[in-house]
């Protein structure tokens, strides 16, 4: 009897301990979940999105309360000690690429790409429409590492000949970019931004981009530390998929689907750019597609980029930072086969300097091949959107309220943009019509 009574006492004590541990575990989980929700003021999705937000920050932990739970995250445990990075620095770019063809080398982004490559002692083939412009736009057109070739990007044969003559093993497509020239209409600027030098042959994206891929297909595979490097880096644009979204998705993600260029999508230019991306993905060469948000020369440069996927980012980025990212991708295996956007956040008193390397950030991005070739899941896209909306410029943080030609600062002050109110933009006064 004594032994039985002793066993009963032990069992009761065990149950008390177990109950206490269980209460602590779920109390911790509930508190962390509430913290996650309250810290994301734009979050309004289903519970499954909360699971994504929690799991996306997960790491290995030795916390005994949470153990091997799928909710094991830094929200509930002490982060592991950081190990000093003793890996050797990445090799110089000039040792991993022999010559880079730059399409659109005299453009407002392309010239910075050329400048960055030459500063790293990388030979450059500048594919330009007007060689005389190159002599005035490029920093040092006489640089011995620079070859300037007049090239019609709307001609497959011309592009192939240029690559064959100069033995390039990689290319950066940046035949895009706004121009602030006062004699250019908005339509001309939009053509420049999306690479739409429209001719009877079709767009330069539809002809020149596949030609670059064809010309590089037979070159040796680019590899670093056993991983594939991209042969083609494409400068695209944020917003290219949004016109094709369902009405439900446009409404749910109105903060990025309702911005002026997406809302108006003049002459379907965004659709053409999206089709060019799709063509590149099926060309059979290693690639990276980079979609920067609003290009703004007044926005500070040398800022920290914030990468996202799913075509949900809205914000600003300086062309110099765009060029630096394009060049850095050439030596980043973790960027191969991926499509992503970027904005930059202004450096506040040095607290947010740009990272010394993009490899860590790029390594966290998903490959285009996941989810049956559809990229990140819809849950991931919508959760990312909720977070990215908090990084919008201005005080109102409401990009969908902007009219075409209106800045975030004007929106905050209640001022009209240069083309009038939203929905009443006088686009005809700016020459928004196809050029002949």
Render 86-103 in DSSP notation, one character per residue: -SPPPPPGGGT-S-EEEE
261-to-8, 92, 193, 293 alpha-carbon distances in Å: 73, 39, 11, 11
CB 118 within 8 A of CB 147: no
CA distance 233 to 319: 16
Q: Which residues pair with 125 in a beta bridge?
A: 101, 147
**DSSP letter assigned to residue 401:** G
Average pLDDT, the chain: 78
Instruction: Supply the pLDDT for residue 391.
Output: 92
Instruction: Supply the pLDDT for residue 353.
Output: 86
Instruction: Supply the pLDDT for residue 186.
Output: 53
pLDDT tens by residue, the chain, 436 residues = 555 555 545 555 555 555 555 444 444 444 444 333 333 333 333 433 333 333 443 333 333 333 333 333 333 334 444 444 444 567 899 999 999 999 999 999 999 999 999 999 999 999 999 999 998 999 899 999 999 999 999 999 999 999 999 999 999 999 853 333 334 455 555 555 454 444 434 678 889 999 999 999 999 999 999 999 999 999 999 999 999 999 999 999 999 999 988 988 877 778 888 999 999 999 999 999 999 999 999 999 999 999 999 999 999 999 999 999 999 999 999 999 999 999 999 876 678 888 888 999 999 999 999 988 888 999 999 999 999 999 998 888 888 888 878 888 888 889 988 888 887 776 655 444 433 2
Q: Output helix, strand, coil percentages for the chain, rounded to the nearest 5.
A: 40, 15, 45
CA distance 160 to 258: 40
The position carrying tokens 């042969």 is 231
Q: Which residues pair with 100 in a beta bridge?
A: 124, 170
Instruction: Supply the pLDDT for residue 239.
Output: 95
Instruction: Supply the pLDDT for residue 204.
Output: 85
- Name which of 185, 189, 159 is nearest 176 in CA terms: 189
Q: What tokens does 159 get?
A: 């592009």
Coil, strand or helix at 359: helix
Coil, strand or helix at 384: helix
Instruction: Supply the pLDDT for residue 351.
Output: 84
- Name which of 345, 376, 400 is nearest 49 in CA terms: 376
The position carrying tokens 């000039």 is 94
Q: What tokens does 101 get?
A: 């063809």
- Name which of 350, 344, 219 is nearest 285 in CA terms: 219
Considering only the C-alpha atoms of the chain, give the largest distance between any 2 of them, rounded to a whole number of Å: 105
The position carrying tokens 């911005």 is 259
- Name which of 402, 292, 393, 396 is nearest 346 in CA terms: 393
CB 309 within 8 A of CB 341: yes
Question: On the CB side of 344, how many CA atoms lie within 13 Å of its CA?
Answer: 29
Instruction: Supply the pLDDT for residue 122.
Output: 98
Q: What tokens does 4 get?
A: 């039985």
CA distance 57 to 75: 8
- Name which of 318, 315, 301 is nearest 385 in CA terms: 315
CA Rg value for the chain: 26
């Amino acid at each position: 009897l004594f032994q039985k009574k002793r066993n009963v006492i032990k069992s009761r004590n065990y149950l008390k301990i177990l109950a206490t541990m269980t209460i602590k575990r779920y109390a911790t989980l509930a508190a962390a979940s509430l913290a996650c929700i309250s810290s994301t003021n734009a979050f309004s999705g289903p519970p499954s999105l909360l699971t994504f937000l929690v799991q996306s920050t997960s790491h290995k932990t030795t916390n005994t309360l949470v153990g091997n739970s799928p909710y094991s995250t830094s929200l509930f445990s002490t982060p592991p000690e950081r190990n000093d990075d003793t890996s050797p620095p990445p090799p110089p770019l000039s040792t991993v690429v022999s010559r880079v063809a730059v399409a659109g080398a005299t453009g407002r982004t392309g010239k910075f790409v050329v400048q960055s490559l030459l500063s790293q002692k990388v030979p450059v083939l500048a594919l330009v429409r007007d060689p005389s412009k190159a002599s005035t736009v490029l920093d040092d057109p006489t640089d011995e590492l620079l070859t300037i070739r007049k090239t019609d990007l709307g001609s497959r044969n011309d592009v192939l000949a240029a690559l064959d003559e100069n033995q390039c093993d990689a290319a950066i497509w940046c035949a895009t970019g706004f121009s602030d020239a006062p004699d250019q209409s908005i339509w001309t600027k939009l053509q420049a931004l999306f690479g739409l030098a429209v001719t009877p042959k079709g767009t330069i994206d539809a002809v020149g981009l596949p030609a670059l891929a064809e010309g590089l297909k037979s070159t040796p595979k680019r590899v670093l530390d056993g991983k594939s490097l991209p042969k083609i880096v494409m400068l695209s644009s944020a917003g290219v998929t949004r016109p094709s979204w369902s009405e439900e998705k446009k409404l749910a993600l109105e903060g990025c689907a309702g911005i002026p260029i997406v809302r108006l999508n003049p002459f379907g230019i965004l659709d053409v750019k999206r089709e060019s991306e799709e063509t590149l993905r099926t060309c059979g060469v290693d690639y990276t597609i980079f979609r920067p948000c609003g290009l703004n020369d007044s926005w500070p440069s040398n800022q920290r980029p914030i990468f996202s996927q799913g075509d949900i980012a809205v914000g600003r980025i300086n062309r110099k930072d765009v060029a630096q990212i394009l060049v850095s991708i050439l030596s980043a295996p973790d960027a191969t086969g991926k499509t992503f956007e970027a904005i930059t956040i202004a450096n506040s008193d040095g607290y947010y300097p740009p990272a010394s390397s993009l490899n860590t950030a790029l390594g966290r991005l998903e490959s285009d091949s996941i989810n049956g070739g559809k990229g990140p899941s819809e849950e991931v896209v919508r959760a990312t959107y909720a977070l990215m909306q908090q990084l919008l410029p201005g005080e109102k943080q409401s990009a969908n309220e902007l009219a075409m030609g209106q800045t975030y600062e004007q929106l905050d002050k209640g001022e009209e943009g240069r083309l009038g109110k939203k929905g009443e933009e006088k686009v005809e006064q700016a020459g928004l019509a196809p050029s002949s």
